[in-house]
Structure 1
Amino acid sequence: MKKYLSLFFTSMLILSLFLAGCGNTVKEKGKTEKTQVSKTNQEARFLFTANEGGSISKINLNEQKVISTFKFDGAVHNIQVSPNGKVAAATVIPEMMNGHDDSMDMAGKAIFFDPIKDKIMKEVKVGNHPAHIVFTENGRYILVTNNEDNTVSVIDAKNYAIVKTIPTGKGPHGFRISKDSQFAYVANMGEDTVSVLNLQTLMEDKKIKVGETPVTTGITTDGKTLVVTLNKENALAIVDLASGKVDKVKVGNGPAQVYIGPGDQFAYVANQGTEDAPSHSLTKVDLKSKQVAATIETGKGSHGVVTSPDNKFTYVTNMFENTVNVIDNSQNKVIKTINVGKTPNGISIMP
């Protein structure tokens, strides 16, 4: 498992988690790949996966197949589409040099591209081992967690300049930003906390103790409830931000990402497990009752998860099968499996 996931761990952790168009060409350090794109490119909704094998897969959801592949020198860990759907961004970590993990001391980058035209717009150097990347809803900032540096890079969404680097807890990894763009909630994998970042002051307000090996967070649209996957505890922490009370719901083995669906009724937890003992399930948690509503069979090593804006489907990356599962939320079962790039990790859908 370490060969897939060790890029995103601090040395203190015991467990490891962790793109043209028709006639268009995407280049990265001399590498070139052309892919024919569907004629419905302008109308379709797209899904993107970040593949640690060095690529991004673009899926046309009308056709339910990969139509473009973006190639990179390095591991692509996370990907997000902006709230207005006009920009997509991914984190890329330099590839290993001469068989050694020299990337440990090499800064990573954030790649910004046009998700319709498949054109790279900008590359921004960030910190060591960038993990997740998220846009604020108000269109002001893009944030990147730097796992090895224990920091978050704050990028101006208009000119792509880094405006601030905010210290966090140890091993910052997955995070979400409140709907009002006021706070970012960063899971610190190297300790048992979530850093609450104030996006007005661009400082850490406080840390919330949640449990062992927090990997990713989610926040309800009203900003009142925080959810956090606890990898080592095989649980989802549900935090009442007003009272500070933490409830824990048992999920599958080695939970990775969590995504709160439209309406804030359910949180969807992808259970990854390990390479030797991969999990193959998605846990659907009712946030009101704090109970498991369904356990859905998936592929091996489920990691990234996102729901469609209409809440009809959930999409899950399976790291150890190089696939994405399409889940019908009304049936709570997989209805389609799509082959993507090597070791798919993060996932994002156009709004």
Structure 2
Amino acid sequence: MSLLACAHAWATNPVFVLNSLDGNVSVIDPVSWTEQKRIPTGKEPHHLYLTPDEKSVIVANALSDSLTFIDPRTAQVQRVITGISDPYHLRFSPDMKWFVTAANRLNHIDIYRWDGQNPTLVKRIPTGKTPSHLWIDSKSTTVWSSIQDDDELISIDLGTQTVKSRTPTGSLPADVFGTPDDKTLLVGMTGGTGVEIYDISGPQPRLIKMLPTGKGAHAFRALGDKRHVLVSNRVANTISQIDYATLQVVAQFPGPSGPDCMEVSADGKFIMVASRWAKKLTVIDIATRKVVRQVPVGKSPHGVWTLDHAPRQ
């Protein structure tokens, strides 16, 4: 058994990789690091999210207008919900009352009530061109979304389901990440060379810094120590570690072939990242800052997720 396999022998739950252009999910064994099977979903699955009861991981199938529920432990399909309009990105509020989706190609955000089993549409909010990624504050009061092709950041009041603010950004804003104190928001500039950082403690967002990370800054993943967050730089083929107390880059990792969504192992030792242009899941050792394994998957791998993950802050 390899050193990497030994290091992951504790992991009992599979790693899921969404193959956006194949319309399926690769199920990876975290000990042997081999693909066990592929689960058909719908067209263009891009992102996935755990249900509040932790019994299902939801795969959002954007072009099929559907959600596929998969058991995160057995990798068995549980059910499919249809009639969900263009679910590109998705997120539950921390109080578990709201389920929010961004319709990337249809230019709206949908806010649903969540009863523990099913979403019920409450409000459809026109946003501008290409709403991309979502973040919800810890108090479950505000949704933040990047509007990719309008170069804009918007905030939505969850209680009233109305737009609160619109803020111009740099080129092609993508993922958004809020610090645990709800005071600072990071936005990846896929059309630029870094991350825009906003003070969101007041009534209107205020740009406080443009942090260079690399070309095509795109997706965030907290390291799990409540101090650092990773951002994948899709064009630069790197991953930057940001200290969100000092707002500085403190480490840089390789991110081969268009790094996109990431996951961090529960022990905090490894980064798993979708290498979109290489059809691979790449595993990076955080201590040595080196690629230690690549696992072949499907076309245009995007979302990456496992139940055995480091904390989300």
What TM-score results when the alignment is normalised by the length of structure 1? 0.76
| AA in 1 matched with 2:212 | K
What CA distance in whole angstroms lies between the structure 2 residues aligned with 1:179 and 1:332? Answer: 31
Opposite residue 50 of structure 1, the aligned amino acid is: L
Amino acid at match of 1:194: L
Q: 40, 45, 49: which one pairs with 2:17?
A: 49
4+ aligned runs moved over 6 Å, structure 1: none
Task: List per-residue Cα deviations over 1:41-82 (Å, max 9, x = no partner).
Answer: xx7233222211211122232443333321135221112223
Which residue is 1:233 aligned to?
192
Identify which of 98, 105, 109 aligns with 1:141: 98
**1:241-300 deviation per Cα after TM superposition (whole angstroms, max 9, x unaligned):** 125233111122222212222233222111222xxxxx4211222222322222211220
For 1:301, the aligned partner's letter is G
> Given that residues 174 and 218 in structure 2 are in contact (C-alpha distance below 8 angstroms), is that contact kept between their aligned partners in structure 1?
yes
Distance 1:203 1:347, change over 3 A: farther
Q: List aligned pairs for 1:176-255, cutoff 5 A.
A: 176-242=135-201, 244-255=206-217
Q: Judge conservation of contact 1:49–1:79 (CA < 8 Å) in 2.
A: no
Distance in 2 (alpha carbons) for counterparts of 1:331 and 1:337: 16
Change in 2 beyond 3 A, CA 1:47/1:188: same
Contact 1:80–1:347 under 8 Å retained in 2: no
Q: 1: distance between equivalents of 2:88 and 2:57? A: 15
Instruction: Within 5 Å, give how 1:64-213 maps onto structure 2.
Output: 64-94=33-63, 108-117=65-74, 118-128=76-86, 130-157=87-114, 158=116, 159-213=118-172
Paired AA for residue 170 in structure 1? K
SS in 2 for 1:45: coil
Deviation sequence 1:78-113 (CA, Å, 0-9, x none): 12223542111122133xxxxxxxxxxxx6223233
Q: Counterparts of 1:237 and 1:80 in 2: how far apart (Å)? A: 25
| Local SS of the residue matching 2:84 | strand
Q: 1:310 to 1:330 in 2, by over 3 A?
A: same
Q: Runs of 5+ in structure 2 lacking a partner?
A: 1-10
Query: Equivalents in 1 of 2:157, 2:15: separation in Å?
Result: 30
| CA deviation after TM superposition for structure 1 residue 322, in Å | 1.1
Taking a change above 3 Å as real, the CA distance of residues 339 and 119 of structure 1, as seen in their structure-2 partners, is same
Residue of structure 1 equivalent to 2:261: 304
- Unaligned 5+ segments in structure 1 are 1-42, 95-106, 274-278
Q: Tell me if the contact between 2:72 and 2:306 (Cα under 8 Å) persists in the aligned partners.
A: no
For 1:91 and 1:162, the matched residues in 2 are separated by 16
Q: Distance in 1 between matches of 2:272 and 2:72?
A: 18
* Paired AA for residue 222 in structure 2: I
| 2:24–2:39 CA contact under 8 A, matched in 1 | yes
Q: Does 1:344 align with 2:313?
A: no
* 1:321 to partner: Cα distance: 0.9
Shift of residue 217, structure 1, vs aligned partner: 0.6
8 Å CA contact retained: 2:182, 2:201: no
Shift of 1:309: 4.3
| Matched positions, count | 291
Give the drift of 1:239.
1.4
Contact 1:219 1:260 in 2 (8 A): no
Secondary structure of residue in 2 paired with 1:190:
helix
Counterpart residue type for residue 234 of structure 2:
Q
TM-fit CA distance, 1:122: 3.0
Cα distance, 1:340–1:239 mapped onto 2, change above 3 Å: same
Kindly provide the amino acid, as one letter, of the partner of residue 263 in structure 1.
Answer: D
Name the aligned partner's letter for residue 187 of structure 2.
V
TM-aligned CA deviation for residue 214 of structure 1: 0.4
* 3-state SS in 2 of match to 1:181: coil
Percent of aligned positions that are identical: 22
Are 2:229 and 1:267 equivalent residues in the alignment? yes
